[in-house]
Structures are given as structure tokens and as C-alpha cells.
Chains A and B, each alone.
Chain A
Amino acid sequence: MSRRARLGLFACAGPALAVVLVLGFRGLPAFGHYHGVYGLVVNGVELSLRHATDMVTALNFDLRAFDTLGEEFILFAAVTGVALLLRELRDESQRGSAADDGAHSFSGASDGLRGASLLLVPLIVALGVYIVLHGALTPGGGFQGGLVLAAGPLAALLAGRYLALKRLAPHAALEVLDALGAAAYALLGLGGLVFASIYVKNFLPLGIPGHLLSGGFMALNSIAVGLEVTGAFLLTWTEFLDQALLIRRRSERS
């Protein structure tokens, strides 16, 4: 279709779809009028039966842990897909000589930025670990904490130490971390099948509500997700950074 025809079609269809949706949305309960009992039931059962105090984590890692399995593997599949698609170009970059190492750093970073970034690395990692471990108690958990954890090593990149980052977390190790995190989550579910005869059923002691070791296997689920998210994001970022630096190096050569 010509650009004109395409825009014309969308100019008719878009508003029509909006009208259809709005007609449906008018049947929604008024703002602030929630009548469902699901939230009440969740609050009741998760505190009394699982000793969890953060209901979002309880939903993600216990009540709807099976959804989280699917979501974990969406992330895992996305990262595996990225690795599959960038395989060719990565092989080319590995064939490059070591003399190109200088290209792997940002030249514009000032000493102040480098120093501050290096200082940030341990702080960010500590924050990430805290958020992963306290998921069952306060807002947080493996997804959020894992992302923070992945941001830690990334600060080393800001410090102009991309190669140091690559040495600290080599590609193969990240791939294994990503796979182990995903596997650990699926295997914790199998622990439920083996020890409590149902998949993703809690099989660990519940602890005292509010204590760090409470909520049964939620804490372990959260750690597994944290590992996977850390590995997945670091892997994706380094894949793309490799591409970007590689392309820059090529254009500089030519």
C-alpha cells in the first residue's frame, strides 16, 4: 500500500477500535470500587499458611509460581534467542586481534566519573543482594533485585573498564549463570513434586513471619530468579555492547 492508503486505513480503523474498546471499558467498576475477594483471600492465606508478609512476592513465588515459571522462561528464551541471532558476528569479533583492545573503552570518561563509578559497583551489588533476599518481607524480590545486581558490573563499564568487566564476567560464565538460575527455579518446583507430591508446592519450613528465613521456599525461588535475571541482563547488555564496539572498530578501520 502507498503511505497515503496505509495512513488512511489506520485513520479509519484506529478510532473505530478505540470506540469499541471504550464501549467495553464503560462496563468496568467505577474508579476505586473494587469488589473482588481475591485480594482478601490472598492476604489471609499467605500470612497464615505461608508466613509471608509481602503479598506481591507471595503471589509471584507461591500462589502463581507457575506463571512465574513461564515468565522466567520467556526471559530465558529471549536471551537464548539473542545469543542465537548474534552468534555469527560474535565469532567474527573473537577472530579479531588483541591489538584492538583499546577500542573496548569509552574515551570520554573523566577521572572523577571513573572513580565514582568504581565506588558505585560494590554499593549497587549490596543493594541488589538486599532486595533479592528480602523479597518475602518487603517489596522487592528476584526480578527487581536481579536487575539492580546486573547494573552493578555495568558501572564498571562507565568506569571505562569494559574489558575488566568481560574478564570479571566472561560470556560463557554469564550463559551458565542465566541457565542455572532458570533451571534452579524449575527444579525448586520439582522439589515440591518430590517432597510434597505437587509441583511448585512449598516443601520447606515456614519460619516466623517477618524473619529473614520465612515464607518457605519463596526465598529460594526469589534467589533463583535473581540469578537468572542478573545473568540474562548482563548477557544481553554485553552482547549488544560487543556489537556496538565491534561496529565502531570496523568503521574506524575503514
Chain B
Amino acid sequence: MPHVSALPIVTPFVAATALVAIRPLARHWLDDLIAVAVAAAVIALCAVLLYRSGSQPVTYWMGGWRPSHGVTIGISLSIDPLGAGLAAFSAVLVLAALIYSLRYFDAAGGLYHALVLLFGGAMAGFCLTGDLFNLVVFFELMGTVAYALTAHRIEERAPIQGAINFAVTNSIAGYAMFIGVALLYARTGALNMAQIGAALDAHRADPLVVVAMAVLFAGFLTKAAAVPLHFWLADAHAVAPTPVCVLFSGVMIELGVYAVARLYWVMFAGPMHPHLIALRAILVAIGVTTALTGAVMCFLQRHVKRLLAFSSISHVGVFICGLGLLGHRALAGVAVYVIGHGLTKAALFLCAGVLLHRFATIDEFELHGRGRELRAVGIAFALGGVLLAGAPPFTLFAGKSLIEAAASGSGYGWLIAVFTVVSALTAGAVLRVAGRVFLGWGPASGPDPQQARAARERVDELRDAREHTPRTMVAVPVALLAAAIAVALIPGAVPAIERAAARFTDHGAYAAWVLRGAGVHWPAIAPSHVSFDDVLYGLLSSGGALALAALALFGAPLRASLPGSLRAGLATAVAGLRGLHSGHVGDYVAWWTAGASALGAVCLLALG
């Protein structure tokens, strides 16, 4: 059924226009109904595409403009299982965000619904398109919607500042991408990714190709929030409406990583083949820097949404490491991890939303012990922490094991230590919050009390009285956590993702099925098995998370026993790292320029 290929993109677009057109009617229930029904329909459409592309990938030439004499003249959707799966996953989170929003706040008469549906359509288009320019168009559309949603609480300063920082940095990323597109078009005369890849195969990696790759990667890594292009993320997540954070953290930033993977395997794998080892080192270095910076910053936060935002940066670092290993098994691991992380992080944000809804603050210390009455939310939050730690045998663990096995196989065994530290820190922070808020453990006051003010929100736009929490607001995170537990336990799910990743990384076959419509016979892939070591690492990171949480809650005497000079040194380092995240958009642009130029220079030196 290739006829439905365009519908996951077009249906939410049309529904968004309908929602705006019926605004004069002012029927909230109708807005809710349309939005939820369309989101559910998009999941079904993506599922059809996923099922269909599992046996044979689909190339859908828009307007029927097939390649003529070997030249692509139209735009194609090039649908493989990994792209279709990611589109389906984004649709699931869109539905979750919409259902949660039903009772969360007064959604501005359908405008909010319309923007969320546009966001969903843009993400689906981003996952399915086979055209480089079209990819950038959907990137821009995602951005335009996201900036507006971030500034939703317009009457306060922080949301406006967060949205402006987000818009400025991501627009610069957009310019970088356009430079890359222009360079590749000048070289190859093509915009279709498969055709660009086929044209580049004939050449070695000269400076034009290397620079084009570097600026495109810098652009998409900005969306992915790789250090030092990441500064916008925490500012935006801290202020955006909680259901929107689910989309930002759960799938939008992951799409940046997806784009880098897609561009590499379709376009640059040919000319980069002789430089595989150097490129691997560059990407892994970016990934490790991102993972560690994000993890440390995460542990330092007391604003729970900011904490979760830095945790997402940290996990993006893990994704970039997995992608950077440039092999199909590691990529499969990333895909599994993205699903597990997206569901878990979404659930954690939604639990934080319950706290915000109930108590009008999201500050860890102000909430000390106040979560006791919300037992189900507390259990869900703690469970989210345990899953995030990579506890066996759940989805995050399955993904991390695959990446770690691939890392050991390519001489990057030390990445396992990095991942363990990162998992322990990010999950430890979540467990610490769970202990303090829902059980009242640990001291009730902490450092930087001025942060508490930033964590309070005006709540008069919230729809319901705050004495009780609407049932949907608990049911959605619980359902997401159940999915995070279940996905990897479904027999055949992980091997199917491994097969999808193997197809995704087949540079030659992609060009054949996109450009020539050739039927492809994929070689069989032996599924990976979880080893004893994997379980050991999983238990280690979970134990580490518990230990760090306990240390943070009850370890004050232990910390006081450290020598004074060491404490002062640590405090200075922490203050320095925090100072970099200043909220000043000029700083962010300066760092972006530094990061992009460093990436370009290193690529030119190492890959030229």
C-alpha cells in the first residue's frame, strides 16, 4: 500500500488547518477530539509503512516524477524500516502529549493542538523524506513550531528568553545546513540524497565535500544538542509546557542524530570510507564530551525539568557515541536505546508535570516531602530512574548492551566505563529527586536558593482545581513506562531493529532501491545475545545510581570530611561549568561558532 506514504505528513497538516478554521466555534471538546483522533490515525499510517517497508523498502516519487535518464527531478519519500519506525515512534509521543494535555491546561482555543499536529507531521516528513532540501524544509518547520510552543507562557520573561535562545541558535544551524546543501548541489547537481551519494562515490573526499559534511553535521548536531552546540536545550526545556518537553526530549533531539546517521550512510559513506577510523574518533569524541558534560550538569540541578533536560543532553552523547562507531550493530543499539530513553524520559517529564500542576513549583527542595500524597506518581518516577540507569533486562539495557558490544569490537571498550558513569549520574539524579520529593529523605534546603524562584510557575492557565490530579495525567506516564519495560522483552523486537539497522547502513543497496527501484535481497543477520558481562555492567550502573542518590541525600557528613582544598577546587569547577550555561544568547552563538569551526577544522585536517 504505497498510496498511504504521504498521509502521515499530510493528514496532521490538514487537521491543523481545520483546527484553526473552526476556532470561531470555540468548542474545546471538538479540538481535543480532532487532535487525538488524527494523532492515533497517524500512528496507524506509520505502522502500515513500517510493516510494508519491512519486506521491501518503498520509494514514493511525489507527483509521479520518477528519475529520468538517471537524473532525479522530483522529491522522493524513501521509506525504510528504521525511518518508518522512528516516524511511528514520534507519532506515539505526539498522541501521549495530546492525551496528557487534555486535562493539563487551557490549550488556547485549538492553536496549541494545531501546532502540536504540525510538529508531528514535520517529524514524520523528516523521517521519511529521501531529499536533502526537503529534509531541511521539515527541520525548519519543526523549529518554527517548537519556538512558538516554547514561548507558550508568554506573560513571563523566562519562556521568551528560552524561545529566543532556541530560535537564534537553531536558525544559525539552519543557515549552516543550507551552506552544506548548496555545496553538495554545486558539486553533484542533485538534491536527492541517494543521487548525491552515488555522485560522491566517484570522488575522493576533497575540501568541498569535507566542509559540506562538517557544516551539515554541525547543523543537525545543534538540533541534537551536542556539546558545545547544546546550550539552547536546557533553557527551552525548563520553560516549555511539559507535554511539549515530551516531544522535545523524547524524539526531536534524537532526530538530529538520525539525520547525521542518514547523511553519513547515504551520502558520505563512499568518500569517507578511507577515513573511517578518523571520523569514528571525531564522532566518539563529540559523543563522550556531550555525555559527560550533560551528566555532570544534570546532577547539579535542583530545577527538575532542567535536570531532565541535561539528562537528555547526556543521553544524546551516548547516541552520538553509538552512531560514531559507524557500524550497524551499534546503530541498532542506538535505535533501541532511543525508544527506551524516549518513553522513559517522556514519563519522567510527565510526572514532573504532575508536581508542577499540583504545587506550582518544580524545585526539588521546595517540593521536599510534599510528594508523599502522590504515591503512584512517586513509584513511576523512581521506576523511571531505575530504567534510565540501564537496569537489566529492560529496553535501555538492551540498547546499551548492543552499543557496548560494538564498542568493544571496534577498540572502544573504554566507552563502557563512560556509559556506566553517565547512566549512574543521570539516573542517580532522578532517584535523588524521587527520594527527596516523594519520601522526604535528605535535607529540605540546598545550595543556590535563588534557583527556586526560577522553578515556580504561574498556574492560572491550568484547567482544573489543583486539589486533585486528573487521572489521564497519571495514566499516560504509567502507560509510557510500561512500554519502556516491554519493548525489548517482546520476542523478536530487538532482532527486527538489528535487521532494520543493517539495511539502513547498506550504502550501495540504498542507492539501488531509491534510484533504480531495484528489489533488494538483504543478507540475514545473526541476532546478538546478551552476555554475562552486559548484565554485570547494567547492575553496576544501577548500583552506582542508587549509591550516588544515597550519597547526595545522606552524604553530607561524608562530604564535610573531604579536605577543604579539594572541596574548594570542586566548587570552583562546578561554578565554572555552570557559568558557561549563562542564558545569554550571545554566549551561545560564540560557543556555536567555536564548535562549528573546530569541527570543520578537525575534519579538514583529519579527513582531507
Contacts and interface: CB of A to CB of B under 8 A. Distances in A.
A36 interface: yes
Given A1-B579, A84-B152, A176-B21, A73 B63 contact: no
Contacts of A35: 189
B148 A81 contact: yes
Interface in A100-151: none
Contact of B148 (A7, A38, A41, A84): A84
B383 interface: no
Q: Looking at chain A's contact residues, is the secondary structure mostly helix, strand, loop, or mixed? A: helix
A83 B24 CA distance: 14
Contacts of B590: 1, 6-7, 9-10, 13
A24 B211 contact: yes
B14 interface: yes
Contacts of B18: 179, 183
A23 to B, nearest CB: 5
4 closest residue pairs by CB, A with B: A24-B211, A81-B148, A27-B208, A36-B189
A136 B411 CA distance: 59
A196 interface: yes
B17 A182 contact: yes
A1 B212 contact: no
Contact of A76 (B24, B118, B187, B586): B118
A98 interface: no
A215 to B, nearest CB: 13
A74 B604 contact: no
Contact of B62 (A27, A71, A199): A199
B148 A17 contact: no
B6 interface: yes
A206 to B, nearest CB: 14
Interface in B1-20: 3, 5-6, 10, 13-14, 16-18, 20
A204 interface: no
B144 interface: yes
Interface stretch (A62-70, A155-163, A246-254): A62-70
B207 A23 contact: yes
Interface in B23-67: 23-24, 60-65
B264 interface: no
A68 to B, nearest CB: 9
B17 A186 contact: yes
Interface in A208-230: none
B450 interface: no
8 contacts: A19-B597, A20-B597, A35-B189, A70-B122, A87-B109, A186-B10, A189-B10, A198-B62
B367 to A, nearest CB: 28
Nearest to B601: A20
A77 B187 CA distance: 33
A18 B63 CA distance: 40
A38 B208 contact: no
Nearest to A20: B600
B17 A76 contact: yes
Contact of B587 (A1, A77, A83, A178): A1
A17 B592 CA distance: 10
B396 interface: no
B42 to A, nearest CB: 14
A200 interface: yes
B572 interface: no
A63 B604 CA distance: 36
A32 interface: no
Nearest to B20: A179
A176 B3 CA distance: 30
B68 interface: yes
Interface residues of B, number: 84
B232 to A, nearest CB: 16
A101 to B, nearest CB: 23
Interface of A: 1, 6-7, 9-10, 12-14, 16-17, 19-21, 23-29, 35-38, 41-42, 45, 62-67, 69-71, 73-74, 76-78, 80-88, 172, 175-176, 178-180, 182-183, 186-187, 189-190, 192-193, 196-202
A72 to B, nearest CB: 9
Given A1-B587, A9-B591, A85 B154 contact: yes
Contacts, number: 231
A198 B64 contact: yes
Contacts of B212: 24
Q: Which of A17, A86, A186, A193 has the most CB of B within 10 A?
A: A17
Interface of B: 3, 5-6, 10, 13-14, 16-18, 20-21, 23-24, 60-65, 68-69, 71, 73-75, 108-109, 111-112, 114-115, 118, 121-122, 125, 131, 133-134, 137-138, 140-141, 144-145, 147-149, 151-152, 154-155, 179, 183, 185-187, 189-190, 206-212, 214-215, 579-580, 582, 584, 586-587, 589-591, 593-594, 596-598, 600-601, 604
Nearest to B119: A77
A64 B190 CA distance: 13
Contact of B118 (A28, A80, A88, A187): A80
Given A41-B71, A80-B111, 15 more contacts: A16-B601, A19-B601, A25-B208, A26-B208, A27-B187, A28-B183, A66-B62, A74-B141, A74-B144, A76-B118, A81-B115, A85-B148, A179-B18, A190-B14, A198-B63
Contacts of A85: 148, 151-152, 154
A19 to B, nearest CB: 8
A70 B125 contact: yes
A108 to B, nearest CB: 31
A193 to B, nearest CB: 7
B62 A200 contact: yes
A67 B151 CA distance: 27
B533 to A, nearest CB: 41
A186 B145 contact: no
B108 A12 contact: no
A66 B122 CA distance: 12
B153 to A, nearest CB: 9
Contact of B13 (A41, A65, A73, A175): A73
Nearest to B213: A24
B531 to A, nearest CB: 43
A70 B591 CA distance: 30
B13 A69 contact: yes
A21 B23 contact: no
A55 B388 CA distance: 53
B64 A180 contact: no
A119 to B, nearest CB: 33
Given A1-B582, A66-B63, A87-B108, A180 B601 contact: no
B536 to A, nearest CB: 43
Contacts of B186: 28-29
Contacts of B13: 69, 73, 182, 186
Contacts of B185: 36
Nearest to A194: B3
Contacts of B210: 24
A20 B589 contact: no
Contacts of A67: 75, 131, 133-134, 137
A19 B10 CA distance: 42
A200 B75 CA distance: 11
B595 to A, nearest CB: 8
A81 B594 contact: no
A76 B189 contact: no
Contacts of A179: 17-18, 20-21
